[in-house]
Chains A and B, each alone.
Chain A
Amino acid sequence: MYLLEHDAKTLLAAWGIAVPAGCLVESVDALDEAALPPGPWVVKAQVPAGGRGKAGLVRAAEARADLRSLVAAMLGQAHRGHTVRSCRIESRRDSAHEAYVGFMLAPESGEVRILVAASGGMDVEASAAVRSKLAAPQSQALAAAVGELAASAPPRVREAITQAGAQLGEVFLRRDAVLVEVNPLFVSADGGWLAGDAKMVLDDNALGRQQEVSTLLAARSHAYAETWLKTQHGCDYVVVDADGELGLLTTGAGLSMMLIDELRAAGIRPYNFLDVRTGGLRGDASRLVAVLNWIAEGRKVRCVLVNVFAGITHLGEFARLLLQALGQAPVLKVPVITRLVGNGLDEARALLGEAGIVVEPDLDKALALVRAALSKQHDTTQVRQR
């Protein structure tokens, strides 16, 4: 999970790493109650994506009134496919030296890539000032690498990077991180330092042994809906287009991603991504019911496409579960088109056919059926409007 900056800083602070004082607000009204840090401030929109500064989503505020207008302007804005649902308000540092420290996986060698820049700025990642080195995933190796990379920096900066880097490396290892990046690392004239920004991506597969992260996830589940759903329901579900017209009940991450790409290229707007993991259903329809109910939340969803390539799963068994789930999710009142191929197709076809549900083994033909269903409804809507 790609942590929002506020949560990343909360985790870093709990580790003893200095961050600017700040608070999180999820509405303008919440400002009245919020325990604001000392001003002047910087208001930072919370989205799991970079490029916020250039998009106007990080802004300075002098007075409380500025806070209100900035928060009001940022909330609800879209940035790189995400909607701003909260803002962090922080005490502002105006005159400090800026450096950069980052840790990421080096998948080719099983090591960690350490990145250091003695002086930073918004585009530091693309600049030649960044020096990098690989080290074994062990605390001492990481700390030593940071020290070497900072060796040529002025003493005050070198000392700050070395100290911060050793602690951040420890966080990277102990919190099962995929990425930890502090940009900028503020270094003040007296050598003190603060993590000005924090980007952390944590490993969802390690949640079972990360109690602090699991607690954070449970408390802020609305901010990490995808990871939360996965831990609760055992499937991957992402709303990719709030105005999408086609709900997807699909299995397999790669095939579901490809299907979304192809649908969009064909001018059809899918509502969601789903890897339902048919192999994990084990005769229980409840996961399918949950998924159908989530899809029913899509206000413009007018058709559902089921796509299952059954390598191991038996389609007869899947068809029975699907029918059971459709019966238990009555909110969803749109046509369902199924594209099924693999073991037990004949049985599935007979079962679903009785219930009036079309089964088409060819994916391209199934997409044609989807297109027909969507355009037919367009026509009826137009007729009704007249």
Chain B
Amino acid sequence: MINPRITRRTPVIMQGVTGRAGRSHFQLMRAYGTNIVAGVSPRAAGAQIDGVPLFGTCAQAVAATGAKVSILFVGADQLLAAIDEAVGAGIEMLVTPTEGMPVHDALQAKRLTLARGVTWIGASTPGMAVPGEAKLGFLPDSTLAPGQLGIMSKSGTLSYEAGYRLVQHGIGQSVWIGVGGDPVKGVRFADLVPFFGADAQTEAVLIIGEIGGTEEEEFAHALRAHAFAKPAFALIAGRSAPEGVSMGHAGALVHGVHGTYAAKKAALEAAGATVFGSLGEMTGGIVAALRR
């Protein structure tokens, strides 16, 4: 079973630590509490950043630190190779915020990680966090607070907005996972149902979905298959989008009857989930259900 519950002690390596974005998020993640024990940089091997050693390869970083988790700030054209390297080095969970990964590369990365039982979060994700412990990626600190709601989201910004509003009403998160908006990705909503079902800190889950694909329908199916006994909430963006045009996220493309808002809403409601029509409705509904 996938277990994304990292702590402030979990050792993490970072691939792509020397780039512009990598450098800045390295500092932000450490400031939040993430235990980054090594960086990987073929060009800067042997050097250090803020006291953290850099290695030339993933395998060396893993051998030196025993880390099983990697966060990758690597360009889209190099991402497949970097994932391959991480999997080969024995990494068991990897988070890839990179936007713009070619979908056929994602197919290969999916096969690689599935074959080795590796948990891949991404691509095109703002990352994940266990609030109060650690974060991998760039979920804004202002939206994070320890609490009882498990969040899974295809969209970064919409989840920030939702998380922020709920935190203002006293609802924090147990674990927050951005699955990302790409059509082919690592972890999907449905894959996380067993974890959230068993996780003691999670009292309810919220999925933030979008039109396109079938992930929301798969999630609905998984709720039933795993007899998920906690409240499940959903917010789905894009109900007024035209067919055949993707709005920002490559995955959010409706063609024909596939991926429509109506199909997703019906599947979720049939599985006992509550689908909210707006951010305001969502905040009110979740606060009423969870606040004591």
A interface, CB within 8 angstroms of B: 2, 47-51, 80-82, 105, 107-112, 125-126, 136-137, 173, 176, 178-179, 199, 201, 203-206, 208-209, 226, 236, 238, 240, 251-258, 260-262, 264-265, 273, 275, 309-312, 341-343, 363-364
What's the minimum C-beta distance from B273 to chain A, rounded to whole angstroms? 18
Residues from chain A with a CB closer than 8 A to the CB of B154 are 254
Determine the distance from Cα of A253 to Cα of B158 in the docked complex, in whole angstroms. 8
Contacts of B210 in A (CB 8 A): 253-254, 257
Q: Within the complex, which residue of A105, A125, A257 is in contact with B252, where a contact is CB–CB below 8 Å?
A: A257
Q: How far is the CB of B208 from chain A (nearest CB, A)?
A: 7
Given contacts A82-B244, A205-B103, contact A258 B237 (CB under 8 A): yes
Output the least CB separation between B195 and chain A (Å).
17
Task: Please list the residues of chain B having a beta carbon within 8 angstroms of any beta carbon in chain A.
Answer: 28, 76-77, 100-104, 106-111, 114, 126, 138-140, 142-143, 153-161, 164, 181, 183-185, 188, 208, 210-211, 213-215, 218, 235, 237-250, 252-253, 255-257, 277-280
Instruction: Tell me the bound Cα distance from A275 to B111 in angstroms.
Output: 31
Complex contact A203–B164 (CB within 8 A): no
Choose one: B109, B161, B181; the contact of A309 (CB below 8 Å): B161
The distance from the CB of B182 to the nearest CB of chain A, in whole angstroms, is 8
Known A108-B188, A110-B108, A309-B161: A178·B103 in contact at CB below 8 Å = yes
Roughly how many angstroms separate A206 CA and B105 CA in the complex, as a whole number?
9
Known pairs A2-B255, A137-B107, A258-B279; A107 contacts B156 (CB<8 A): no
Count contacts between A and B, CB distance < 8 Å.
Answer: 194
Q: Report the separation of the CA atoms of residues A199 and B242 in the bound assembly, to the nearest whole angstrom.
A: 17
Within the complex, what minimum Cβ distance (angstroms) separates B163 from chain A? Answer: 10
- Assess the A107–B184 pair: CB atoms within 8 A: yes
Contact status A311-B158, CB under 8 Å: no
Kindly provide the distance from the CB of A340 to the nearest chain B CB, expressed in whole angstroms: 12
Contact B255 A252 (CB under 8 A): no
Q: Assuming the A-B contacts A257-B241, A258-B237, are A107 and B183 also in contact, with contact meaning beta carbons closer than 8 angstroms in the complex?
A: yes
- CA distance in complex: A136, B185 (Å): 16
**Contact status A261-B102, CB under 8 Å:** no
Is A255 within 8 A of B157, CB to CB? Answer: yes
Residues of chain B with a CB closer than 8 A to A252's CB: 155-158, 160, 248
Of residues B104, B153, B157, which shows the largest number of chain A Cβ atoms within 10 Å of its Cβ?
A: B157
Which residues from B are CB-within-8-Å of A206?
102-104
A-B contact pairs, 16 of them (CB 8 A): A47-B244, A80-B243, A82-B242, A105-B103, A105-B183, A107-B188, A108-B218, A109-B111, A205-B100, A240-B242, A252-B160, A254-B237, A255-B158, A257-B158, A261-B238, A265-B277
